[in-house]
Structure 1
Amino acid sequence: MLSRLGAPLWRAVLAVLLVCGVGLLPWLSHTDPALTVLKARSADRDATPAVLADVRAQLGLEAGPLRLLGQWLAGLTRGDAGRSWISGADVLPGVLDALGASMLLMAAALTVALVTAAGVCARTLYLGARRRLEGRPGGGSGSAVLAALPEFLTASVLATVVGVQWGWLPALGWYGPQWTVLPALALGLPAGAVLGRLLDDQLPAAFAEPWAVAAAARGLSGRSVARKAVRRCAPGLLPNLGLFVVGLTGGSVAVEQIFDIPGLGRTTLQAAIAQDLPVLQAGTLALVALAALTTVGARLGARLLIGPALRDGALHTLHRPSPPVRRILPFAYGLLLTVVISLGLPRDPFALDTAARLRPPSTAHPFGTDALGRDVLARVAYGALGTLLLALAISAIALTAGVLLGLAPRLSGPLVDTVNAVPPVLAALLVAAVRGSGPMTPVLAVAVVAWAPLAAHTSALLEQERATLHLTATRALGAGPGYLLRSELLPAVLPPVARHALLRLPGIALALASLGFLGLGAQPPSPEWGLLLAENQPYAERAPWAVLAPAAVLALLGALAVTAAGGTRRPRPRRPRTADPLGGQQPSRKTESAGAG
């Protein structure tokens, strides 16, 4: 394990490796940077050998990638990020302007996310403050629908309906605060739903702790108790909140594209496509620096909230055995999803019928037809098979990697920050550069970044769990690290992290779909969900069913994931006495549970 002094060095090494990998992007992709830059500058100009040689001389490409990278890094020490290969302008002012636009959008989206999270937790806070919670979270399936809303689809609907048809708010451009409302809603609603579910998962145990019981007995107002319960749960969520901040800044490429926002994510994507290396490197470095600052702020916030309790081992566990939950909702959602897929599989998703273009739902076509007369139900069903299987596989890999890396926070912490600073779109471009584009490109790109939130969650929960009273007592009895990890820490941490992984299952499907929407995944005529949304979006006004059908199935997947996550609870102990790590008998947890609430 790295020492405390080695963690900043490890973080710096990872940042340098990422920037170097980005700097080698044109050479990794085996393309001619001079040709790409020429086409970006002037698409009509002929790429003659003389013209390409002139471009290479202007950019200094003959020196090779390593020399160019060294010159760029040397310029950073003087505050010079170089000049754009496309426009010739200084890179630093443009990147700072893009970062400012993204930060303003992030602040607005974060406000929407926090309000949404408060709405998701409102019922739990109300019941918990009045001592009527009975151990069950109050969030319902509505939060699942919000979490499963595709950002690019929500942005398209808001821009078309609210911005253009109704004219309530501006839909395109970036000229002031009012231009942030619609994109902030598109970004903040799904993020707030996920954040609210994570908080809602911990609140019942916080309301059952002795301080909450004592506060209610002393006559403290319910609002005050609820506020303190949120404060008690916040440290375990701050690392994920930091990940949301970075994701809302660099990962909002599709939303920035739709609303024509000159943000950092869009700027970085355009630089990557045009192979404008100075801009791409500066944008990536800005995202890495933002991730590092956000992580430091999240850790300081956690220390300020419960620092003394962490030091003294005086916490109570927030991951106690929970009562059984009703299984009817996940069964109903799963059955409905199965019925939709089963009805669509016997149909042909590739059959063209130009005479039946954009037909509304009917008996022959329950979900209507698309712009080429293809059956939407068949395409949704066939797309579901690939999308769901890939999302499940990526979720399983992310859960395993997140838990394993979360057990070593000093090693994984800087790695999480660096990986989270890479938007999935940029990761897809890097993967495509190494192995070429294709249907597996978005899979690898999403898998590379999907484990980071789970690792951060695991590390935060382990830090709090190690400071609990029962763990301190078990350690005092002579239990070793292996016993504590196997019998105490993992049983307490795995259920909430597994629920978190299930909550992110729709998000992984959305990430795969968004990459397909941006043209970085499967190509036509594949029925992949991202392609379905991208192909049918231009016809959303004339034929809304062609867009709403795949979006509704995504929402159904989100509802299934959230309700199934509610059933992933820590099991209740079945025996009143358990084996002592020293060979004797330990008291049961009944006393501990009673003390915790």
Structure 2
Amino acid sequence: MSRTSRARISRPGLTALWRSVLAGGLLCAIGLLPWLSRTDPALTVLKARSADRDPTPEALAAVRDQLGLGAGPLRLLGQWLGDLAHGDAGHSWISGSAVLPSVVQALGVSLLLMGVAMVAALATAAPVCARTLRRGAAGRPAGPRAGGVAAMLASLPEFLTASVLATVVGVQLGWLPALGWYGPQWLVLPALALGVPAGALLGRLLDDSLPGAFAEPWALAASARGLPGRRIVRQALRRCFPGLLPNLGLFVVGLTGGSVAVEQIFDIPGLGRLTLQAAIAQDLPVLQAGTLALLLLAAVAGGATRGVARLLLGPVLRDGALTSPHRAGPPARSVLPFVYGVPLLGVVAAGLFRDPLALDTAARLRPPSWAHPFGTDALGRDVLARVGHGALTTLAVAVAVSAAALLIGVLLGLVPRVSGAAVDTVNAVPPVLAGLLVAGVAGSGPYTPALAVAAVAWAPLAAHAAALLTQERATTHLSATRALGAGPLHLLRYELLPAVVPPVTRHALLRLPAVALALASLGFLGLGAQPPSPEWGLLLAENLPYAERAPWAVLAPAAVLALLGALAVSAAGGIRIRIRIRGRGRWPARRPEPSAPARGTAAPRSAG
């Protein structure tokens, strides 16, 4: 057997070993969380079981003996892993009940909610890219045009969407039930709260890649020959889906384990809520079992998306029969960044001249007026002032974290054999749980949310970069350049990076509002800045209880966040690949559509 054959055989084994090491490391970190946090697990369990009981040394010693904490964390972790090999996940430290049945039941609830949310996401993604599909079917490809609407939908925080749906649709209008988990009707509102933002982001990513597919030679030839537009659209979608499938797999895991806020608002007994409650209560067996379930789900979703991507592209990845769909035209010239950016800067500038901490109990929950353009909150503080001052910290940290996530995502995306397992493992950890882990190791502080979000924010960007890299390596122009003697560094600098970095950068800008909200949400949980800090997420969370009585206190920061999302997406439209003509650094003239294709011209095998 040749050396190449042995290397090919060993690669799957090395990948499986790498995935196992990462999953084991995460499980060990979860298992050691009570000790890493420098708190006494016995004290936490005693308070959870009986809040009125005094934590005397005798009572704490009894809890330690009952839970086996005297043996030490490593021995306790080893015993849990040994019992798990025999199908026993242990018993809850709080309730004493078996862990496995409760985790399986919570996983079933979350999977059902995730399935319905994915249907809502696909239904939302369809109209986002509908205009581009219509123009492509008519043979008139155009750049993506769904930036503003999609950005505003994608930037809506899930807990805000869930609260509005529960309050307006569920309570005031009474169209659908708002609380509980008793039947299909109780699925609709939480599925919409999860699916609409995810669908808007997914549709925007698809809308960003479709123009390149419609501009490929096979699409131009098919249009010139008069093939039905539906067939061209179907093949263009098939061409673009492989690059989005890794992120679709991330959405599956994120909607299952990261829907903590939605499950809390609608009182849904799902896995995300169960895992978060176990982490806060330091209920180690439930926390470990819930995290293991998320890891298994991430592994299954990642493997399924990779298999579907290979199935859609067929043998073209092997034969190098693709053309790159990521070589777009010149940067889009649009006034939309100014349309969204000027009001945003105006709001921030106006708020900076006001005091965000001034209390006026006589002006509590006042509606918007000349004195308070955005109204006041429950303590009589000016909402405009808090929005303006909150932008300084929220936006600065969010931009820094997004830039770090982009850099890490691109670098790891260039080595997919290393990053694939890491993406699946990291994506199984909701940001809240990551915040608890970081706080346990580094302690709570102003930089804890940034570290926690940066630790997980790179995963979707790395998955996107790896998917684009796989397709770019199979293109005909790359094979030709390699045959002409180009080395790896030349291919990386002039071929691979120009095709990967701009789409991933636009993706990072799409996620900027979500990063800003995740930072503030972790701060609200006590892992970072504390009230009365005017962070945007804190403003939303503090004013949600008064949404029905004073909706302006919630709508104002939500509208500013939506403006940020629209600005990020419209600015992303200007990030395009600069194709240099030899000897002249300018954009090439637009190639006219062929009046008649050359004989023998056909679509690539990826286009059916």
Q: Name the CA distance, whole Å, in 1 between partners of 2:592 and 2:254.
A: 39
Following TM superposition, where does structure 1 have runs of at least 4 consecutive aligned residues deviating by more than 4 angstroms? 588-597
Q: Name the CA distance, whole Å, in 1 between partners of 2:254 and 2:509.
A: 19
Q: Which moved more, 1:122-131 or 1:435-444?
A: 435-444
> How many residues are treated as equivalent by the alignment?
587
Task: Write the mapping of 1:129-140 to structure 2, written as runs, cut at 5 A.
Answer: 129-133=137-141, 135-140=142-147
Gaps of 5+ in 2: 1-6, 595-600, 604-608
CA distances 1:110-167 after superposition (whole Å, capped 9, x unpaired): 111111111100111011101122x311313111110110110111111111111111
The answer for the alignment partner of 1:247 in structure 2 is: 254
Question: 1:577, CA displacement in angstroms?
Answer: 8.3
The answer for the alignment partner of 2:546 in structure 1 is: 539
Work out whether residues 510 and 565 of structure 2, in 8 Å CA contact, stay in contact via their aligned partners in 1.
Answer: yes
CA distances 1:368-410 after superposition (whole Å, capped 9, x unpaired): 1111111100000111111100110001101111111111111
Does 2:502 match 1:495?
Answer: yes
Work out whether residues 330 and 577 of structure 2, in 8 Å CA contact, stay in contact via their aligned partners in 1.
Answer: no
Q: Which moved more, 1:430-439 or 1:165-174?
A: 430-439
Does 2:369 match 1:362?
Answer: yes
Question: 1:482, CA displacement in angstroms?
Answer: 1.0
Task: Write the mapping of 1:198-209 to structure 2, written as runs, cut at 5 A.
Answer: 198-209=205-216
Q: Name the CA distance, whole Å, in 1 between partners of 2:593 and 2:405.
A: 32
The answer for the alignment partner of 1:100 in structure 2 is: 108
The answer for the alignment partner of 1:322 in structure 2 is: 329
Work out whether residues 298 and 428 of structure 2, in 8 Å CA contact, stay in contact via their aligned partners in 1.
Answer: yes
Question: 1:41, CA displacement in angstroms?
Answer: 1.2
The answer for the alignment partner of 1:585 in structure 2 is: none
- One-letter identity of the residue aligned with 1:170: P
Question: 1:493, CA displacement in angstroms?
Answer: 1.2
Work out whether residues 437 and 520 of structure 1, in 8 Å CA contact, stay in contact via their aligned partners in 2.
Answer: yes
What secondary structure does 1:352 align onto?
coil
Q: 1:45 aligns with which of 47, 53, 57?
A: 53
Work out whether residues 215 and 225 of structure 1, in 8 Å CA contact, stay in contact via their aligned partners in 2.
Answer: yes
Work out whether residues 331 and 575 of structure 2, in 8 Å CA contact, stay in contact via their aligned partners in 1.
Answer: no
What secondary structure does 2:429 align onto?
coil
What secondary structure does 2:486 align onto?
coil
Does 2:558 match 1:558?
Answer: no
The answer for the alignment partner of 2:62 in structure 1 is: 54
Q: Which moved more, 1:1-10 or 1:443-452?
A: 1-10
Q: Name the CA distance, whole Å, in 2 between partners of 1:532 and 1:596.
A: 56
The answer for the alignment partner of 1:420 in structure 2 is: 427
Q: Name the CA distance, whole Å, in 2 between partners of 1:417 and 1:115.
A: 26
- One-letter identity of the residue aligned with 1:431: V
- One-letter identity of the residue aligned with 1:111: V
The answer for the alignment partner of 1:584 in structure 2 is: none
The answer for the alignment partner of 1:233 in structure 2 is: 240
Does 2:515 match 1:511?
Answer: no
Does 2:104 match 1:91?
Answer: no
- One-letter identity of the residue aligned with 1:304: L
Question: 1:333, CA displacement in angstroms?
Answer: 1.4
- One-letter identity of the residue aligned with 2:23: A
Work out whether residues 129 and 204 of structure 2, in 8 Å CA contact, stay in contact via their aligned partners in 1.
Answer: yes
Work out whether residues 120 and 196 of structure 1, in 8 Å CA contact, stay in contact via their aligned partners in 2.
Answer: yes
Does 2:570 match 1:549?
Answer: no
Q: Name the CA distance, whole Å, in 2 between partners of 1:146 and 1:80.
A: 43
Gaps of 5+ in 1: 579-587
Task: Write the mapping of 1:442-591 to structure 2, written as runs, cut at 5 A.
Answer: 442-575=449-582
Q: 1:117 aligns with which of 109, 112, 125?
A: 125
What secondary structure does 1:553 align onto?
helix
Work out whether residues 208 and 596 of structure 1, in 8 Å CA contact, stay in contact via their aligned partners in 2.
Answer: no
- One-letter identity of the residue aligned with 2:183: G
Query: Structure 2-normalised TM-score?
Result: 0.94
Does 2:21 match 1:13?
Answer: yes
Task: Write the mapping of 1:179-328 to structure 2, written as runs, cut at 5 A.
Answer: 179-328=186-335
Q: Name the CA distance, whole Å, in 1 between partners of 2:523 and 2:334.
A: 34
Does 2:172 match 1:165?
Answer: yes
Q: Which moved more, 1:554-563 or 1:440-449?
A: 440-449
CA distances 1:514-540 after superposition (whole Å, capped 9, x unpaired): 324444432111111111111111111
What secondary structure does 1:141 align onto?
helix
Q: Name the CA distance, whole Å, in 2 between partners of 1:596 and 1:379.
A: 59
Q: Name the CA distance, whole Å, in 2 between partners of 1:442 and 1:536.
A: 21
Does 2:351 match 1:348?
Answer: no
Q: Name the CA distance, whole Å, in 2 between partners of 1:60 and 1:438.
A: 32
Q: Name the CA distance, whole Å, in 1 between partners of 2:145 and 2:543.
A: 36
Q: Name the CA distance, whole Å, in 2 between partners of 1:58 and 1:593.
A: 77
Q: 2:35 aligns with which of 23, 27, 32?
A: 27
- One-letter identity of the residue aligned with 1:482: L
Against the structure 1 CA distance between its residues 158 and 321, is the aligned structure 2 distance closer, same or farther, given a 3 Å change threshold?
A: closer
Work out whether residues 444 and 526 of structure 2, in 8 Å CA contact, stay in contact via their aligned partners in 1.
Answer: no
Question: 1:590, CA displacement in angstroms?
Answer: 9.1
Question: 1:440, CA displacement in angstroms?
Answer: 1.9
Q: 2:71 aligns with which of 63, 69, 82?
A: 63
Q: 2:134 aligns with which of 126, 135, 153?
A: 126
- One-letter identity of the residue aligned with 2:75: R
Query: Structure 1-normalised TM-score?
Result: 0.95
Q: Name the CA distance, whole Å, in 2 between partners of 1:201 and 1:448.
A: 26
The answer for the alignment partner of 2:597 in structure 1 is: none
Question: 1:321, CA displacement in angstroms?
Answer: 3.3
Question: 1:67, CA displacement in angstroms?
Answer: 0.6
Q: Name the CA distance, whole Å, in 2 between partners of 1:329 and 1:508.
A: 22
Q: Name the CA distance, whole Å, in 2 between partners of 1:471 and 1:291.
A: 32
- One-letter identity of the residue aligned with 1:191: A
CA distances 1:193-213 after superposition (whole Å, capped 9, x unpaired): 111111001101111222222
- One-letter identity of the residue aligned with 2:460: P
Work out whether residues 112 and 189 of structure 1, in 8 Å CA contact, stay in contact via their aligned partners in 2.
Answer: yes
Q: Name the CA distance, whole Å, in 1 between partners of 2:525 and 2:57.
A: 32
Question: 1:299, CA displacement in angstroms?
Answer: 0.4
